[in-house]
Structure 1
Amino acid sequence: MRVVAELKMEDGFEIVEPAEPKVPFVFDSPHSGDLYPSSFLASSRLDSSRIRLSEDAFVDRLFAGVVELGAPLVRARFPRAFLDVNREPYELDPKMFSGRLPSYANVRSLRVAGGLGTIARVVSETEEIYAGPIPVEEALQRIETFYRPYHAALRRLLARTHLRFGQAVLIDCHSMPSTCRSAEARGRADIILGDRYGTSCARILIESAASILRDLGFTVSINKPYAGGFITEHYGRPSRGLHALQIEINRALYMDERRYEPLAVFGEVQRRLTLFARDLVDTPIADGGLAAAAE
């Protein structure tokens, strides 16, 4: 965790670009940010450890090797507990705020009901973040200052990639706790791939991803319990040559979940994920493999 007095628009995210784009892939890590504004921490009832429970710590580092393969990597620098860009722009819980939400806010989504809207109410399923209501104006400012520029940059990268290669594939990179309260967590796989139940990318992409990961020694599950969030759903348009695949890495593989520190095997996991990305970007796109499978 890095505490900053103020989080400015230019600090919100970073795009790490290859010297030359070589593959029709874009990788993003929307939940690995660790810049915590001091005012946000002051408004929270959680200590500096509990507030990080929803952070995908080090995921951007795990996938840093994709840049050498010729793919850009977008990484958020603000934490998920502060703002979640893997939601609609205005999934907001009116009970959280002082003041009236705009009429266009989505206040009835399942994610809002679970406390996991664009401005989250909880971390780790039940841990309330805020000591009291926060001003509506503050929530809207976070969305305008950080959410909208993040997605504008992601759209530009995907459009540029599609124009250059005729296809664009977004790999949305996340991590998951090794345990949780749900029964589905028992025997949780090393990696969970999500394609919104076959709607966000061509079948060949997720099948190839699963096969490569298993060959590298990972256990893999598909769509359960994570099928993909807003990013995967929103950007995945296979019929238009736009594909989106979510990948969730079990945190126990690479980090101490209590101390938020990389394990000694971090470099080895990073190496295997770079090998995964190297083989995945060779999935046949130029000959119509993805386009044909999406029809």
Structure 2
Amino acid sequence: MTTDIVTVTRGPSPLILSMPHPGTGLPPEVHAALNETGRAVPDTDWHMCELYAFAERFQPTIVEAGLSRYVIDLNRDPSGASLYPGQATTELVPTTTFDGEPIWTTPPDEAEIARRREAYFQPYHDALATEIARARAAHGWCLLWDCHSIKSEIPRLFPGTLPTLNLGTNSGRSCAPAVETAAIAAMADHDLTQIANGRFKGGWITRHYGRPHENVHAIQMEIALSAYLSEEAPPWRFDATRARPLQGALESVIAAALAAAMVQTVGLG
């Protein structure tokens, strides 16, 4: 398990892939405080880099977290405010799995959470903000694509089975309307279950960095793990054959969003 906080793989294009939850790393003090369930880090966004390997053609910058979301969730409001008031969710530092199972032997107190914000949350966001500013300075615009995945059935969080593709734009506020329209249209061309701004409208990353009036367009894509894993259970194996249609869909949606964002930027010029 890596304990790197963040790894940046810099590319020359205006596309940034944010990967806040693929990490399984646990600093020693966090590992010691977790119970057996927590140490298994079941709510990881498994194999993000492998899933998005197709994106090499876009020459993106990739900002990837190395630590588990159980250390601190990089896609939650650092103030602790809920992104989905009135709905079940997990906290800035989760107290349970998505299924509601306790994960701590010694839960972190407020002082420990504050320490983790400084030590582990802030470095990721410093790196992400730097890359967004760099891409925008180089191109005049940026497309931030926030990469996520989750089990397709979690009764505590949503009823029934989650669609394969869950596109979120904070209900149209995190990117220009033309970018959202292009992405949704491209998504509809593929025979995969899908929804825009359903249960997952975009987390803190999408909401915080998406500033279409400044030519920073942010889209979150939440994917059902069933679309690219052999099974949604340990050892969480990547299934290349199963993933192929999903990768084709993601490639076309990203391409459409990039094209629309470029035109939108020219239009604002």
Please indicate the TM-score interval, normalised by the length of the shorter structure: 0.7 to 0.9
Q: What does residue range 113-132 of structure 1 map to in structure 2 within 5 Å?
A: 114=88, 116-132=90-106
The code of the aligned residue for 1:284 comes to A
Q: 1:221 to 1:245 in 2, by over 3 A?
A: same
Q: 1:115 to 1:200 in 2, by over 3 A?
A: closer
How far apart in 2 are the matches of 1:73 and 1:277?
Answer: 17
- Provide the residue aligned with 2:244 in structure 1: 268
Secondary structure of 1:225's aligned partner: coil
- Provide the residue aligned with 1:47 in structure 2: 37
Are 2:172 and 1:198 aligned?
Answer: yes
Q: What does residue range 269-288 of structure 1 map to in structure 2 within 5 Å?
A: 269=245, 271-273=247-249, 275-276=251-252, 279-280=255-256, 282-288=258-264
Are 2:20 and 1:37 aligned?
Answer: no
- Contact 1:13–1:75 (CA<8 Å) still a contact in 2? yes
**What is the percentage of aligned positions where both structures have the same residue?**
24
Q: Which has the larger radius of gyration?
A: 1
- Provide the residue aligned with 2:225 in structure 1: 251
Query: RMSD over aligned Cα, in angstroms?
Result: 2.8
- Contact 2:33–2:105 (CA<8 Å) still a contact in 1? yes
How far apart in 1 are the matches of 2:127 and 2:143?
Answer: 15
Unmatched 5+ stretches in structure 2: none
Higher mean alpha-carbon deviation, 241-250 vs 54-63, is at 54-63
Using structure 1 for the length normalisation, give the TM-score.
0.79
- Contact 2:179–2:257 (CA<8 Å) still a contact in 1? no
Q: What does residue range 158-169 of structure 1 map to in structure 2 within 5 Å?
A: 158-169=132-143
- Provide the residue aligned with 2:59 in structure 1: 70
How far apart in 2 are the matches of 1:175 and 1:109?
Answer: 17
- Provide the residue aligned with 1:231 in structure 2: 205
The code of the aligned residue for 2:209 comes to Y
- Contact 1:190–1:249 (CA<8 Å) still a contact in 2? yes
Aligned positions, number: 266
Offset at residue 283 of structure 1 (A): 1.8
Offset at residue 173 of structure 1 (A): 0.8
- Contact 2:146–2:221 (CA<8 Å) still a contact in 1? yes
1:16 to 1, 9, 31: 9
Offset at residue 231 of structure 1 (A): 0.6
The code of the aligned residue for 2:30 comes to F
Secondary structure of 1:283's aligned partner: helix
Q: Which has the higher strand share?
A: 1
Unmatched 5+ stretches in structure 1: 92-105
1:178 to 137, 152, 160: 152
2:15 to 25, 38, 51: 25
